[in-house]
Structure 1
């Protein structure tokens, strides 16, 4: 989509109701020829709204009022551009584990997890977080610093116990070391301003991961995924999973990735925005929400649910 349309979509379908500051900025950018011209000078994948907004915050720019944001961003564009080119939107939202947990728990145990697009690897620890679905009891280790809450609809198979994970590894083009304070500060800038719960969740997950940093491999899926899958221990169900990775692949690269993972001896869990894996759409048994972005948790190419982008809600399909 055109850049202005992209920023309007971000304002109206992604941050509306979650971040008034970002909604106002994104709508302002969508109507501002000066900023749109600057953004359009970037490679297409680097024009992402969240990348621009995070870069400005990372550099200490204002984000509470569009006029101040506009002037600061335009006058500091060289620094903003450099930051956007050097970094990625690696939100690494641990809350998505609430969408993945019911799928992981129903697979033959134990599990060996391989996450594509792992960022700092915070979603590789679904067995170390606490969960509460609706008003049900907490599931998970009582001492965990992270509690993930999720509203449900339909017959969600909420597990009684967490999956058994015996091995975990992540793959990313630019993996983030949870022990690197500056890299973690970038992750924090990717959290939308008013979302204090998300920020606290991120910080708790980082503290937990620093005690046992994940194995992260630098590389793309085509080159590195087969070897990483082969390294998983015998006797475990190998699960390749990913969340919010497809927006960074064009259609040809996406199709190559799908073909690759289908030909590996793994179970495949995808958790992507509804437009990103179009072959899932005809298989849905319910209509997509009209006014909010829905992710589609799917197992081996079969959609199981619709979910919030950050794991905040989960609607199970019949």
Structure 2
């Protein structure tokens, strides 16, 4: 046993799972006090033994959503398969609600848009033109609703916004593509099962949202290229149609790259004839233009071409317009 495994799961149980999943909070707390299960997880690298990944893989393999003792029995009985599957997979947070936080940046870009997402997973965040958006005030009352040109969508992305609202619009997307090390095809039953297993127990609303988004994506799938984003970027970008504004999106994927690779990817994106939108922790990189003070954020920075336009929850549940920082981003 190493303290690192116990500490990681204890932190997850205390700080990350509460309010999202009582089941995962119980499982993580159990691991933090269980030397035998910790010994199984020690066989994995830190990246591949993250609680959400281990829990998702165990459910994909057949672990039932029950108490910790049930889950523990499954893990110990299936340790080799669990380790093998965790070692080949990564956490793929394909949350379409992130588009609610990206909407202020997307609204600043003239269409038509060719949208390319790096770390796209199943590509659920490539369809801002097919989803509806509802912006609520801090009091919970609706402030603004936007729908696709053909009417209300089965996917409604709801966020809370206090303060000023910038001009918002549903973007015109004429081409959509993604790059991912292990892309997910929502038309494939096994791939759908994996994406569903990544939804934490108790996240019923999220489950319904992702299921509805998968139906939309399956009916008109994007171009998804398997491979390294840096290596594939230029070739996939070159496939974008002429006459459309190429927009490269990196929501939540840069954190998974080592720092030197992160810098290289950002430089490659900026070398393209393209706009760049992202949502990252303020301290994640130094690509903000102008430089920002991380202490001024309660969430993540949403930026267009490096200029911050919003402070937001990383999964899009709330955002705050930052016109003073990003007003010249267009």
Provide TM-score, normalisation by structure 2.
0.87
SS in 1 for 2:164: coil
Cα 1:287–1:67 change in 2 (3 A) is farther
Pair member with larger Rg: 2
The one of 142, 147, 161 equivalent to 2:156 is 147
Superposed CA deviations along residues 265-306 of structure 1, whole A, max 9, x for unmatched, are 2111112345533665960475344xxxx3321222233222
Aligned to 2:327: none
Matched, 1:72 2:74: yes
**Is the CA contact (8 Å cut-off) linking 2:104 and 2:166 kept in structure 1?**
yes
Helix, strand or coil for the counterpart of 1:252? helix
**CA distance in structure 2 between the aligned counterparts of 1:14 and 1:273, rounded to whole angstroms:** 16
Match of 1:165 in 2: 173
Distance in structure 2 (CA, Å) of the matches to 1:278 and 1:12: 30
Residue 56 (structure 2) aligns with? 54
Shift of 1:28: 2.6
Partner of 1:221: 229
- Alpha-carbon distance in 2 for matches of 1:16, 1:128: 32
- Contact (CA 8 Å) 1:93, 1:122: kept in 2 or not? yes
2: CA distance between counterparts of 1:45 and 1:76? 20
Distance change >3 Å, CA 276–CA 7, structure 1 → 2? farther
What's the offset of the Cα at 1:18? 1.5
Distance in 2 of aligned mates of 1:22 and 1:168: 34
Flag structure 2 segments of 5+ consecutive residues without an equivalent.
137-141, 325-330
Runs of 4+ deviating beyond 6 Å: none
Tell me, in whole angstroms, the C-alpha distance in 2 between the residues paired with 1:253 and 1:4: 29
Determine the structure 2 residue equivalent to 1:253: 261
In the alignment, what sits opposite 1:95? 97
The alignment's TM-score, normalised by the length of structure 1, stands at: 0.90
Deviations 1:25-73 (A, max 9, x none): 2233233333223222112321221110101111221343223222321
- Structure 1 match to 2:13: 11
In structure 2, what is the Cα distance between the partners aligned to 1:122 and 1:102? 18
**2:304 maps to what in 1?**
299
- Is the 1:153–1:315 Cα contact (8 Å) retained in structure 2? yes
Cα offset, 1:263, TM superposition: 1.9
- The residue correspondences of 1:33-48 to structure 2 (distance < 5 A) are 33-48=35-50
Q: CA RMSD in A?
A: 2.2
